[in-house]
Structure 1
Amino acid sequence: MATTAFPLDLHDPDSLAQPAVALLIESQQNDTEVPVHYHRKGQLIVALKGGNVCTIEDGLWMVPPGFGVWVPSGTVHSNRVTANGKICLLFIEPGIAQLPEHCCTLALSPLILELVLYLAGGPNDYPADGQIARLAGVLLELLEQAPAERFYLPLPKSPQVRQIASALAEAPASRVTVAEWADRVAMSERTLARLIKNETGLSFGHWRKQWQIIVALQHLVEGASVQSTAEALGYESVSSFISMFRKTLGNSPARYVRDAIVSRKLT
């Protein structure tokens, strides 16, 4: 079973009044999963190596290195760190910074990442008038300006569409059409298509493509090749997968992952 370097039950961030405290978490050869929970403080889940999947009731986020998932105070969620991954959990006192009221993905600058790691390496009970407190204030100001990115998959609430989501999670290469799914869940094609649109804000095709992007990122940040990732997602050719990826995220898979790591000087 995978373990964490700093068990959360021994380091309760909610008991501290400091504006920002950080914990470093590492998984071993297997995935590390933190079950459904919530915090009094807001939480920024920073991916340093590998990837992190954060799930709430109506959505899923997967972020590669150099990005973070913002989870506001009191939001029920679960986290999973990919094999041999490393994340840093930054806990922020409610109301101390102007951060989004809903979960989102933030692109983090090298300076933000260095400040998060600096906090993780020091005492969490630092004094309010010391150097660490001043650096924490700078970090929070920078986070207020961090741009949001698109690593989000809306999760439906209806049991019929949840069934489809579970099937896509088990078999991301599936090419079952919306008409075929309608037969399986005993609905008309038009009704199912409308239900998916209403609950996710996306057509079935775009919703499935967004899921494939999240799965692709998870494979790539774990070190899988572009070719094996394309095969895992059922693409007949690597070029068609690269084309889909580039149209969605604006860059090829290899360059996208490389830039996420190299530009942020992560190891």
Structure 2
Amino acid sequence: MPILDVNSLPQDWMDPDLVPRPVVTYGFVADHSAEFEMSTHSHIKAQLILVRRGALSCEVEGDLWIVPPRSAIWVPAGALHSVKMSGVLEGYNAFIQPYAAEGLPPACRTVSVSPLLDELMARAARLPSLYEEGGANSRLMAVLIDEIVAAKVEDLNLPLPADPCLRRLAEAMLAAPADRSTLDVWAKRAGLSERTLARRIGEETGMSFGRWRQRLAVMLAVKWLAGGASIQKVAADLGYESVPSFVTMFRKTLGTSPGRYMAERYGGG
């Protein structure tokens, strides 16, 4: 299947669910000056979206996921999901029959992309959609699936509350991440007591309010850094009074500094 971009013609596209092959892979290139969203949808086949350049966010059945360079998101077959992107984005898509092999992830996850997985996706994307089965192509796809199964899981998701009141609060925090108001202030805005909000956030997300907001900040930071923003700008846009305090928070959450985190994803070209 050809690499699809903003200039691709409708006839270049084939619905991967309708292609009679266990794995369908293609490359994509997008450049959106403003944020672009693919509305909520699902596929019969499972989907792996691998990002080589840029970053995207994906909401999958109540959780928000960020996919930076050298990472990929696995979306199980039938899972409702939407995708948001902006700026330049390059990568690969693979659609896989859910019963193509044992060990495929049963739930959504983000994974780190090894050099082998990256190369396998690139090679598979160069094959025609109706590639010949039973020989080298099938063996290539089998190794690709093995690499997906073995890929290291990354912790890049933010649980979103299902309760309408809490969901509105979460959306307000996502829209204004520089607002560092206390739990008490956010509780008053939601018409709840501080204790009730803390309890319900814990029940809905499995996290304390402070940890949930910290995870939100890291997720947005990864997305903005992948889009080319400086560490100083990201820290300011997240409401941190100093860059060191932001770096400390980032390191505590992801185990490394923001500069090193992004260098690891772009250093190999």
Shift, 1:186, TM fit: 1.4
* Counterpart residue number, 1:89: 93
Tell me the equivalent position of 1:127: 132
- State the partner residue of 2:23: 20
Distance 2:71 2:64 in 1: 15
> Map of 1:72-221 to 2, 5 A cutoff?
72-97=76-101, 98-221=103-226
Compute the displacement of 1:6 (Å).
7.2
Gap change, CA 1:8 and 1:197, over 3 Å in 2: farther
Deviation at 1:82, TM superposition (A): 2.9
| Cα root mean square deviation, aligned | 1.7
Describe the superposition over 1:23-45 as per-residue Cα deviations: whole angstroms up to 9, x where unpaired: 22222142442211100000011
Alpha-carbon distance in structure 2 between the residues aligned to 1:100 and 1:258? 28
Moved more, 234-243 or 4-13: 4-13
How far is the alpha carbon of 1:169 from its aligned partner?
1.5
Report the CA distance between 1:96 and its aligned residue: 1.2
Q: 1:13 is aligned with what amino acid?
A: P
* CA distance in structure 2 between the aligned counterparts of 1:180 and 1:64, rounded to whole angstroms: 32
- Where 2:74 maps in the other structure, the secondary structure is strand
Name the SS of the counterpart of 2:66 in structure 1: strand
1:48 aligns with: 52
For 2:87, what is the secondary structure of its paired residue? coil
Q: 1:29 to 1:79 in 2, by over 3 A?
A: closer
* Seq. identity, %: 41
Give the Å deviation of 1:49.
Answer: 0.5
Q: TM-score, normalised by structure 2?
A: 0.93
Q: Secondary structure at the match of 2:256?
A: coil
Contact residue 48 and residue 74 of structure 2 kept, 8 A? yes
1:37 to 29, 38, 41: 41
Structure 1, gaps ≥5 residues long = none
Q: Deviation per CA, 1:2-51: give whole Å up to 9, x if none.
A: 94747699320001232211122222142442211100000011111000
SS in 2 for 1:211: helix
Q: Which string of whole-angstrom CA distances, capped at 9 and with x for unpartnered residues, describes residues 118-143 of structure 1?
A: 11122121121132221111111111
TM-score (norm 1): 0.94
Q: 1:246 aligns with which of 247, 251, 257?
A: 251
Bigger Cα displacement from structure 2, 73-82 vs 2-11: 2-11
Residues of 2 paired with 1:88 and 1:8: CA distance?
19
1:57 Cα deviation from its structure 2 partner: 2.7
The one-letter code of the counterpart of 2:108 is C
CA contact (8 A) 2:178 2:237 kept: yes
> Matched residues in 1 for 2:244 and 2:11: separation?
43
Deviation at 1:211, TM superposition (A): 0.6
Any stretches of 5+ residues in structure 2 without a counterpart? Answer: none
Deviation at 1:56, TM superposition (A): 1.8
Secondary structure of 1:128's counterpart equals: coil
1:222 aligns with 2:239: no
- Identify the range of structure 1 (198-207 vs 86-95) with the bigger mean alpha-carbon deviation: 86-95
What is the one-letter code of the residue matched to 2:26?
L
- Report Cα offsets for 1:61-120 as digits up to 9, x if no partner: 001111111000000101122311113111111111322211111111010011101111
> Which deviates more, 99-108 or 8-17?
8-17
Map Cα deviations across residues 202-242 of structure 1 (whole Å, 9 max, x no partner).
00111011111110001100111111111111111111111
